[in-house]
Structures are given as C-alpha cells and as structure tokens.
Amino acid sequence: MFATTTRRSMLLGLAMAAGLTLSGPASAQADYPTRPVKIIVPFGAGGVADVTIRIVAEKLSEKMGQRFIVENMPGAGGITAARSALSSAPDGHTLTMLTNGTAVSVPLFANLPFDPLKDFVPISTLGTFDFLFVVNANSEYKSFKDLLQAAKDKPGDLNVATIAVGSTQHLTSVLFKGEAGVDFRHVPFRNTPDALVSLIRNDTHLLIDSQAALKSALEGQQVRALATSGPRRSPALPDVPTVQEAGISGFDVTSWNALFAPKGTPEPIVQKLNAALKEILAMPEIKARLLDLGIEARSETPAELTERLQSDIEKWRAVIEKAGIPKQ
C-alpha cells in the first residue's frame, strides 16, 4: 500500500514537472514581448526603409506594451545587420528588416555570409513602392516616350543617374536598357542628393530613385516624374504613367520592405507579430503616412513573403547574369 502510494505520488510529481516544463515556453510566448524589442535596419537613418519601420515601430510599441527600438546598421548587402540579428537569441526580441535589396544581394555577392531563405523566418511585408523616372523640370523630354525615342535615336548619348552600382535603382536601369532595347551611359553616385545635383545641373538626363528619396525635389518642382516602375499607376502619383504604358510591356520593378526574425524564432511569436502588423498596416492613419512617401502599406502572410523573396531573387539573378554584371 505504501509502495503504491509512493509510486503514484512520484508519477504525479513527474507529470506536474513535465507540465511546468511544457507550459513554461508556451507561457513566455503568450506573454511576448517581455522586454524591449530591437529592430535592426540595414540602412542609415532617414531613408525610405528607416522611415517606414519607425512609423510601424511606434504603433507596435503602443499595441504590444513594450518599446520597439530601431537600430541602424548600414553596410553593403545588409551583411552587418544580418550578422548582428543572427547572433541574437531567436526569441522574438531581435528582429530585422530585409528588403528587395536583399533579393538583389543573393546573386550579386560572391560570398554572401547569410542565406535569407534559410537563416531567417519571414514575419510580414510592411509596404511596397515603385521607383520614379525623373528629369530636370526644364528638360526637353516632356514624356517618357520622348525620352525613350531620344535614347533610340542617339544611342549612348543619354546619361542615366542612380545610386551605387548593384543597388536596385541601378538594376532597374539595367532592366530598362534590356527591355527597351536602348543604349545609354550609366552614371553612379554615392547618394541621392549628389545624383539630384547632377540632374539639376543637366550633367545627367534621367534619374531613377524612390519617391521618398525625391520627395523634396518633386515638391520644390526641381524635377518632373515621367514614369513609375510598377505594373500599375501608384496611388501616390496617379497622374504619372507607368513604364509599361510607354510601350515596354511586362516592365515591373516593385520594391518592398519586410520584417524577419532569426531562424528558430517560435511560430506563436511570428504569428503574434504578423497579426499585429496586419492590424497596424490597415489603419487609415498609417496608410496615409506611408502613402505620402510613395509607399503602399501592405501586410502578407509568412508564406506570401517567402514567395515574394524567392521570386525576386530569381528575377534579379537573371538580370545580373544577362547584363554580365560581375559579382562583388
């Protein structure tokens, strides 16, 4: 009798211990976040990615009861930011932003020290945006068709400015050259302000960049937008036609920003963040603030985001290989 009672007590104790062990992590995930969350951004302060995440992080902080702190770690290919995120515990308290630029980096870099598809868990897209094809406000090119015709009539005469070689802006110009069957001179710059100065001085004839980067120049009427790079007109600039409308069928460059977590982050935490972002990105206030920068607020499921990343890696791999751009 005593032995039976003792055995039952031991089994009950083991069961309770197992229950505590199993409920511990589940409870921690339910209570997430339990401390401030760091979001690592692979760009400097003030850019389109940085502004996007700061707007969203503010709402995440309000909604989830802990501060979401943005930490900028710029560096080629997002390597510095990725390494920092991957060195952190996969518990949801360190997140990172990956972008269309990440998809470009995979085929562009010979020895990229991380694999975005294997090393990170997708949470949700934050927003999508097009690139603008802009000219000096006093340019002789009044439409994109005018510019396209000039490029065909005088091969090599047109100077096209973008930021650094290997950027999505640069590869947009490469895709444009190939799809339109035209030739022009690419002029790379360290940053958008330098490229803008060249356009205003008429040293270059066309600049390709995001609406957020060109916002002040557009509002100051220093430049004029001839076309957008997406498959349909941007709701931020409904009067500006697409490159497709100018006759280059199938031309589509849609950039995006998204939130990821290190591999191993528990699924309940990923789903909790995804649900919060879905609500936040549907808020009229957030949609309006992002649209003012040319960004369409957009949430996606982790599966949809994975598909977007995979598709863009293959798209830019083909562009890079066709253009013969050497790996960095």
What is the DSSP annotation of 36-89? -EEEEESS-TTSHHHHHHHHHHHHHHHHHSS-EEEEE---GGGHHHHHHHHTS-
Query: Count of residues for the chain?
Result: 328
**Sequence-distant (≥ 6) Cβ neighbours of residue 50 within 8 angstroms:** 41, 43, 44, 70, 72
> Do 196 and 176 have their domain in common?
yes
Handedness of CA 74, 76, 82, 87 (dihedral sign): negative
Give residue-wise pLDDT tens across range 264-289. 999 999 999 999 999 999 999 999 99
Instruction: Give the chain's largest Cα–Cα span.
Output: 102
Instruction: Tell me the residue range of the domain where 164 lies.
Output: 131-246
Domain C-terminal end among 190, 218, 246: 246
Residue 14 has pLDDT above 50, yes or no: no
Answer yes or no: are the C-beta atoms of 211 and 292 closer than 8 Å. no
pTM score, whole prediction: 0.86
> Do 228 and 86 have their domain in common?
no
DSSP 230: S
Residue 245 has pLDDT above 50, yes or no: yes
Domain C-terminal end among 246, 277, 296: 246
Give residue-wise pLDDT tens across range 64-87. 999 999 999 988 778 999 999 999
Residue 28 has pLDDT above 80, yes or no: no
Give residue-wise pLDDT tens across range 132-191. 999 999 999 999 999 999 999 999 999 999 998 889 999 999 999 999 999 999 999 989
Residue 22 has pLDDT above 80, yes or no: no
Answer yes or no: are the C-beta atoms of 247 and 166 closer than 8 Å. no
> Do 86 and 135 have their domain in common?
no
Q: What's the confidence (pLDDT) of residue 96?
A: 97
Element (H, E) at 228: strand 223-228
Give residue-wise pLDDT tens across range 291-313. 999 999 999 999 999 999 999 99
At 257, the amino acid letter reads: N
Count of structural domains within the chain: 2
Element (H, E) at 128: strand 120-129
Per the structure block, which two tokens stand in for 115?
A: 């694999």
> Do 84 and 148 have their domain in common?
no
Domain-embedded: residue 29? no
Q: What's the confidence (pLDDT) of residue 21?
A: 46
Average pLDDT, the chain: 91
Give residue-wise pLDDT tens across range 196-225. 999 999 999 999 999 999 999 999 999 999
